[in-house]
Structure 1
Amino acid sequence: MKRRLFWKIFLPFWILQTCIMLLLAYRVHASFGPERPWWVQPERRAMPVLGRYATWRYSTRGEAGLRELFHDIALEKRSAYWLFDDRMNELSGFWMPDEAPDAIHRALQNHGIAQSRHGTFIAEKVTDSKGRNYVFAGEFFFPPLFQSLPGSVLAAILFSSLLTSLLCAVLAQYITRPILRLRDAAHEIARGNLDARAGLSGSTRRDEIADLVKDFDTMAGEINDLVRSNKGMLMAASHDLRSPISRIRVALSLVSSTPEAERQELLDRIEIELLRLNEMIEQILTVARLESGQLKFTSGSLLLNQVIGEAVEDARFEASQTNVEVVYDENWPEVTMIGEENMLRSAFENVLRNAIFYSGVDGRVEVAVTIGSGLAQISVRDNGPGVPEEALPKLFKPFYRVDAARSIGTGGSGLGLYLVSGSVKFHNGSVRARNLQPHGLEIIIELPITSPKTTASSPGVQARA
Structure 2
Amino acid sequence: MGPITTELATHLDMAFSRAILVSLSVAIIVAALTALAVGSFVSRRAVRPLRELSEAAGAVASGDYAVRVARSGYGAELDALADAFEQMARSISRTERSRAEVLRDLSHELRTPLSTVRGYHEAIADGVLPADRATFERIDAEISRIERLVDDVGRVSSAEERGLDLHVREIAVGDLLRVAARAEALAFDAKGVRLTLRPGSDSRPVLVDPDRMQEVLANLLRNALRHTPSGGHVELSARSVGEAIEITVRDSGDGIAAEHLPRVFERFYRVDDGRARGEGGSGIGLAIARALTEAHGGHIRAHSIGPGTGASFVVTLPVGRLDRSGR
Out of 410, 428, 431, which is 2:297 matched to? Answer: 428
Residue 10 of structure 2: aligned partner: 80
Deviation (angstroms), 1:343: 0.8
Deviation (angstroms), 1:344: 0.8
Cα distance, 1:414–1:196 mapped onto 2, change above 3 Å: farther
Cα distance, 1:352–1:179 mapped onto 2, change above 3 Å: farther
Out of 191, 200, 209, which is 1:340 matched to? Answer: 209
1:212 aligns with 2:142: no
| AA aligned opposite 2:43 | A
8 Å Cα contact 2:59/2:67 also seen in 1: yes
TM-score of the superposed pair, with normalisation by structure 2: 0.74
| AA aligned opposite 2:58 | H
Residue 42 of structure 1: aligned partner: none
Cα distance, 1:247–1:291 mapped onto 2, change above 3 Å: same
Residue 325 of structure 2: aligned partner: none
Residues 148-194 of structure 1: CA deviation (Å, up to 9, x unaligned): 57x9xx59x948973x6555444433333332222112111211222
Structure 1 portions without partners, runs of 5+: 1-47, 56-66, 82-137, 452-465
Q: What SS is found at the alignment partner of 1:80?
A: helix
Deviation (angstroms), 1:345: 0.9
TM-score of the superposed pair, with normalisation by structure 1: 0.55
Residues 52-109 of structure 1: CA deviation (Å, up to 9, x unaligned): 6x79xxxxxxxxxxx9xx5xxx5xxxx516xxxxxxxxxxxxxxxxxxxxxxxxxxxx
Cα distance, 1:403–1:179 mapped onto 2, change above 3 Å: farther
Out of 301, 308, 314, which is 1:444 matched to? Answer: 314
> Percent same amino acid among aligned pairs?
22
Cα distance, 1:145–1:422 mapped onto 2, change above 3 Å: farther
1:376 aligns with 2:227: no
Work out which of the two has the higher radius of gyration on C-alpha atoms and give 1 or 2.
Answer: 1
| AA aligned opposite 2:259 | P
Structure 2 portions without partners, runs of 5+: 322-327
Out of 261, 264, 269, which is 1:401 matched to? Answer: 269
Mapping for residues 34-433 of structure 1, pairs under 5 Å: 48=1, 51=2, 70=7, 74=8, 80=10, 139=13, 142-143=17-18, 145=20, 147=22, 158=30, 162=34, 166-199=37-70, 207-252=76-121, 253-254=123-124, 263-290=132-159, 293-315=162-184, 317-318=186-187, 325-358=194-227, 365-382=234-251, 384-388=255-259, 392=262, 396=265, 399=267, 401=269, 409=277, 415-433=284-302
**In 1, Cα distance between the equivalents of 2:75 and 2:188?**
53
| AA aligned opposite 2:269 | R
**In 2, Cα distance between the equivalents of 1:285 and 1:298?**
19
Cα distance, 1:199–1:314 mapped onto 2, change above 3 Å: farther
Number of aligned pairs? 314
| AA aligned opposite 1:80 | T
Residue 94 of structure 1: aligned partner: none
Q: What SS is found at the alignment partner of 1:249?
A: helix
Q: Which has the higher relative contact order, 1 or 2, with Cα contacts under 8 A spaced 6 or more apart? A: 2
**In 2, Cα distance between the equivalents of 1:387 and 1:359?**
18
**In 1, Cα distance between the equivalents of 2:232 and 2:158?**
35
Q: What SS is found at the alignment partner of 1:379?
A: strand
Residues 338-392 of structure 1: CA deviation (Å, up to 9, x unaligned): 3222211111222333344455676654433112454211123456124428x63
RMSD (Å), alpha carbons:
4.2
Deviation (angstroms), 1:414: 5.6
8 Å Cα contact 1:401/1:407 also seen in 2: no
